[in-house]
Amino acid sequence: MPGKTSLFVPGPTNMPDRVRQSMDISNEDHRAPGMEKFWHPLISDLRKVFETESGQPFVFPGTGSSGWEAALTNLLNKGDKVLSARFGQFSHLWIEMCKKLHIDVEVVDVDWGGGTPHDEFEKILSEDNNHEIKAVLITHNETSTGVTNNVSATRDLLNKLNHPALLFVDGVSSIGSIKFEMDSWGVDVAVSGSQKGFMLPAGLAISCVSQKGLEIAKSSNLPRAYFDYHDMMKVNETGYWPYTNPMPLLRGLREALNMMMEEGLDNIYSRHLFLAQAVQKATQAWGLEMCAKDQSLYSNTVTAIMVPEGIDSTDIVKTAYNKYNTSFGGGLNKVAGKLFRIGHLGDLNSTMILGAISTAELAMYDVGINFELGSGVAAAIKHLKI
C-alpha cells in the first residue's frame, strides 16, 4: 500500500530519525578497549529516567517480559509468596509467569478498566502477620486498558502497615513517558523495554534494581543463569557484557537518551499528558466511553476507547490497517472486540496525534459508528492550539 504506515499502537512507538540513524552501523567489536566510556554515562542517564540515585540499571537482550522474569528469579526464593492484582492483559501475563516459575502468587481480580485495589491489598497485607508475602507486583501502566496506577499509594500502604514486602513494578509502557520515581516510591525492581518511551525497536529489557534488591539477589536461591543480575553487574562494571551484546540497540539507546535529556524529562511527561488529553477530548466529543473507569486512572500513553453495542472493535482495527494503512491497538483477552486503543507515547507531536484522531474518525465512520464527523478533531484542535 502506498504511503507511510501510520503507527498508533502503544508500542513499538515511532522511532525518531536520529535514533534510527544511530543504529544503522557496521558491526562492532564488543570487546574493543574503552567500552566503559560508552557504558558508564549511559547507565548514569538511565538512572535519571528511573529517578534513582542508588538503583542499578540493567540492559540485556530480551523483552519486557524477560525483565519480569529476571525480577522474579533474582529477588525471590523457593516457596515465596507474592501479591498481585489482575486488571488487564499485562498484569494477567505477569501473574501467569509467576505460576510458570513455581512462585506462589495471590491474585486479586479487578474489573478490567480498574486499577490497583488498595483496599483489598490493605486487607490481605494486614492479615499477613508472618510476612509470607515477599513482594507486591504492580503494573504501573496497564497497556491493555489504558490505566495508570498510583504506585506511590501502594508504597504508602506498605509503609503504613510496616509490611516489608518488596515492590516490583512493571513500567514497560510508562517509564520514559510518565513520571516514574523509583527512589521516592521505594521501588525494588522496575522493569521496562526498549520499544516504548525509549523510542527504539523491541529487543532490550531495561530494568533498575534497588540496592536492597541486589543484596537479596546475592543469596536468593531460584535457579537462573542468563538473567542473573550479579553476573551481569560484575562484567558490566568494566564496560562489557557476559555475552555478545547488541551494539546497534545500545547505540540507539545512547541517542534516545541524548534526545530525552535534550528535551528534558519533565517536558516529555507534560507533552505526553497534553497529547493524551487531546485524545480524551476527542473521545468525549464522539460520545464514547473510555475503558479506564475513572479520570484518575487515565493513562498518558494509551487510550482504550469502548465501542458502542453492536460494533466489533476488531473491525475498526482491521479497517484502519487494511484500508487506510494505519495501526491502532485492538482489545485483548476479556476486552477483545469491545475496545480499540490509540497509543500516544514516544516521539509524538500534535500533528501526529491529529492524524491518529482523524484516521480513527475515518475508520469509525467506515464501520458504521454513529458520531458527528469532525467533532473529535475539532475538540482536539481547541486543546492543541498553543
* Residues 222-281 within binding reach of its own copies (CB under 8 A): 222-226, 228, 242-249, 263, 268, 271
Q: What are phi and psi of 377, to 5 degrees?
A: -65, -45
Instruction: Check binding of 348 to its own copies (CB under 8 A).
Output: yes
Of the two residues 157 and 199, which places its CB atom closer to its own copies in the complex?
199
Binding mask 80-99 for its own copies (x = CB under 8 A): -----------------x--
Q: What letter would DSSP give residue 332?
A: -
For residue 243, give the nearest of 25, 29, 30, 28 by alpha carbon.
30
Residue from 119, 215, 234, 373 touching its own copies (CB under 8 A): that is: 373
**384 counts as binding its own copies under rule CB under 8 A:** yes
What number of chain residues touch its own copies (CB under 8 A)? Answer: 100
DSSP character string of 206-252: EEEE-HHHHHHHTT--S--STT-HHHHHHHHTTT--SS---HHHHHH
What does 145-213 look like in DSSP terms, one character per residue?
TTEE--HHHHHHHHHHTT---EEEEE-TTTTTTS---TTTTT-SEEEEETTSTT-S-S-EEEEEE-HHH
Interface region with its own copies, contact rule CB under 8 A, candidates 63-71, 119-127, 182-190, 212-220 = 63-71
Closest CA to 289 of 267, 256, 266, 311: 311
Q: Segment 165-224, which members bind its own copies (CB under 8 A)?
A: 193, 195, 201-203, 222-224
Lookup: cell for 325:
494503512
Angle between helices 375-384 and 350-367 (to 10 degrees): 170
- Please tell me whether residue 62 binds its own copies under the rule CB under 8 A: yes
Taking the complex as a whole, the smallest distance from the CB of residue 185 to its own copies amounts, in Å, to: 25
Closest by CA position to 342, among listed 1, 92, 6: 6
Rule CB under 8 A: is residue 370 a binding residue for its own copies?
no
Give the DSSP H or E segment for 13.
Answer: none
Q: Least CB distance from residue 321 to its own copies, whole Å? A: 6
Could you say which residues in the range 294-333 bind its own copies, by CB under 8 A? 318, 321-327, 329-330
x/- map, 113-132, its own copies, by CB under 8 A:
--------------------
Q: Toward its own copies, which CB reaches closer, 150 or 314?
A: 314
Per-residue binding string, its own copies, 31-50, x by CB under 8 A, is xxx-----------------
Tell the residue number behind the cell numbers 504508602, with chain if given.
Answer: 156
